[in-house]
Amino acid sequence: MPAFLAAAVVMAAGAATFWCWPFQSIADMDRSTVRWPEPQFVVGADRDAGPVLIRVSYTVAADRERAFRPVMGRLRQSRLRTGALDWALYQDAGNPRLFIEQFTVPSWEEHLRQHQERQTATDLGYHDDAAALSDPPPRTEHYLAADLRE
């Protein structure tokens, strides 16, 4: 009986959080699939090797930084939803205008799925919003896991 009572209390507390943390409405999201251009790949490299590190550099003017941070929060959710294992945003200690978005996917094939199958029009909007706040346009780099065997 105490377990059921404890479960009921936890469920009631969880329901109360809807006032603080409402679910994002998906009714107004455009969930149509969008294909991004396929990233360049070195011929001869192992497409199944992983993980793959993706770094995107943004240069954001001081007057745009306040708008940039929430946009990156939405982009973070998009990256994780479409297959990223982790995600982080860094600000350069020597140049506060430079931000580095970094995320990892399990393999090159998984990253291609992000480009070809998993991006929605809403995800593309998040990406475009972030890119619009960067001058010059963001630069993307892809890193394959290094093979340490000799």
Residue 27 lies in a domain: yes
Higher pLDDT, 77 or 7: 77
User: What whole-number percentage of the chain has pLDDT above 70?
Assistant: 73
Rounded mean pLDDT, 61-82:
95
At 57, the pLDDT band (50, 70, 90 cuts) reads very high
At 45 the three-state DSSP class reads: coil
What are the tens digits of pLDDT across the range 72-130? 999 999 999 989 999 999 999 999 999 999 999 998 888 888 878 888 888 889 999 99
Residue 55 lies in a domain: yes
pTM here is 0.72
Higher pLDDT, 7 or 66: 66
Average pLDDT, the chain: 82
Relative to beta strand 52-59, strand 139-144 is antiparallel
**Number of domains making up the chain:** 1
Residue 150 lies in a domain: no
In this prediction, residue 141 carries a pLDDT of 92
The alpha helices in the chain, defined as continuous H runs, are 2-16, 65-81, 108-113, 121-132
The distance of Cα 41 from the centroid of its chain, to the nearest Å, equals 21
Residue 149 lies in a domain: no
Residue 56 lies in a domain: yes
Higher pLDDT, 62 or 114: 62
Range of the domain at 66: 2-144
Relative to beta strand 98-105, strand 52-59 is antiparallel
Say which CATH number the domain at 61 has.
3.30.70.100
Are 20 and 113 spatial neighbours (Cβ–Cβ below 8 Å)? no
In this prediction, residue 45 carries a pLDDT of 61
Residue 133 lies in a domain: yes
In angstroms and rounded to an integer, the radius of gyration of the C-alpha atoms of the chain is: 19
In this prediction, residue 71 carries a pLDDT of 96
DSSP label at residue 120: B
Residue 63 lies in a domain: yes
Sign of CA pseudo-dihedral 88, 72, 127, 93: negative
Residue 123 lies in a domain: yes
Pick the range with the lowest mean pLDDT from 2-11, 108-117, 121-130, 138-147.
Answer: 2-11
